[in-house]
A = this chain, B = another copy of it.
């Protein structure tokens, strides 16, 4: 090769080498942008799931008597605190055992020491959708959700200490163990069970525990008469219930939308649409059924219809066409109406806010619906879904029974007579939530405060 050809090659290749460097840099910056975008959505979705806790607190407070308001508010506030802390301590590690999870647990400290490059947990090497911290943040908000479902079902006649100990154990063990079966890559996942954002893994787990505890502690005083007649104990603050349901609906866009685990435009936007339509259909269906059946408007049922539609779509929000989302939501709305009346009037379990009908019954329905509607529909999938529902149900019921009885023996679960007589708030807080509105309470507060003061 002649000399000038060499020169010519050098001349043409040198910019190529520069381009190669630039291309590598550009490519890594493109990946970094995509990662930052995905991570941003999961973080924001986590914030939206967080606000669901205010939704739960508001719904439960709005639909129950004012004499238990402070008690419910404290329970739901404490559960968010407990849920976040226990998930850092144990839950994260227990639920995703194959990874470097758990923040302050022994296992995670051990992992941290043995892992060669912890910085990798903060890049797309950990996951193309989120950092290790974002993963924890999003998942921790889910854990607290499952636990907070219980508090509505037991409102008005549970002991604070017993409830908080149960919630702590539920958060430490029940939720992460069940979660590990599917989302941690456990046996339900290997089986082919599908639960996109947690109709079963989150909602029915909370729902089963709610059913067990509500049954164990019995009804509120005055709910069922000795002659078998059923009394309605009215919600004390309906705007608060509406605030709660709308915040839950809002947060559910993050709950389901974030469960895509990336900001993939097609997937997330489909999930938002199926979520919105299922909720709308559920509210419309439940409201209409109630109006036809009772010949009067029923706000509570309309609200629970929205929640039912949301729980129902959660298992398959990414698998449904538009009309299927509407169908699943509508059926959820009808189911929640009849389930509520059945549980309240026939089975006679006192569930002040309808948590069992919404989260358990519609959680089961939504999970099975994945085998009936959408991309995965098949008899085989339906059978797999049924197996998942059953496995989770059996575990959670057994867990709740054992832990429930143990706590009942040690701390007590059902409120004693003095608490039931004066109300949770005066008994536990020596106070009421609306001291200037419920004038009749004033004398009772003073009397009770004097009585319980040690």
Contact = CB atoms under 8 A, between A and B. Distances in A.
A329 to B, nearest CB: 9
B284 A81 contact: yes
| Chain copies in complex | 3
A82 interface: yes
B242 A77 contact: yes
B439 A439 contact: yes
Contacts of A341: none
8 contacts: A12-B16, A37-B263, A50-B249, A74-B287, A76-B242, A236-B436, A243-B243, A296-B429
Interface string A1-17: 11011001101110110
Given A266-B122, A296-B429, A238 B69 contact: yes
A185 interface: no
Given A4-B5, A273-B133, A435-B236, A34 B33 contact: yes
A84 B276 contact: yes
Most chain B CB within 10 A, of A40, A48, A160, is at: A40
Contacts of A26: 23, 26-27, 30
A93 interface: no
Nearest to A240: B239
A231 interface: no
Given A43-B268, A104-B326, 20 more contacts: A15-B16, A15-B20, A19-B20, A26-B30, A30-B33, A43-B272, A53-B246, A66-B437, A73-B238, A77-B242, A77-B303, A80-B283, A82-B284, A103-B273, A122-B266, A137-B273, A234-B431, A296-B452, A437-B438, A439-B439
Interface size class of A (residues with CB under 8 A): 35 or more
A contact face: mostly helix, strand, loop, or mixed: helix
A298 interface: yes
A36 interface: yes
A41 B134 CA distance: 15
A263 B2 CA distance: 54
Given A9-B11, A36-B264, A88 B322 contact: yes
The 9 closest A-B pairs by CB, nearest first: A122-B266, A133-B269, A54-B246, A238-B433, A39-B265, A84-B280, A81-B280, A134-B269, A81-B283
Interface stretch (A57-65, A391-399, A405-413): A57-65
Most chain B CB within 10 A, of A74, A83, A238, A284, is at: A238
A28 to B, nearest CB: 10
B299 A269 contact: no
A322 B241 CA distance: 35
A319 to B, nearest CB: 14
Contacts of A58: 239, 243
Nearest to A270: B133
A375 interface: no
A323 interface: yes
A73 B299 contact: yes
Contact of A265 (B131, B269, B279): B131
Interface string A326-337: 100000000000
B22 A27 contact: yes
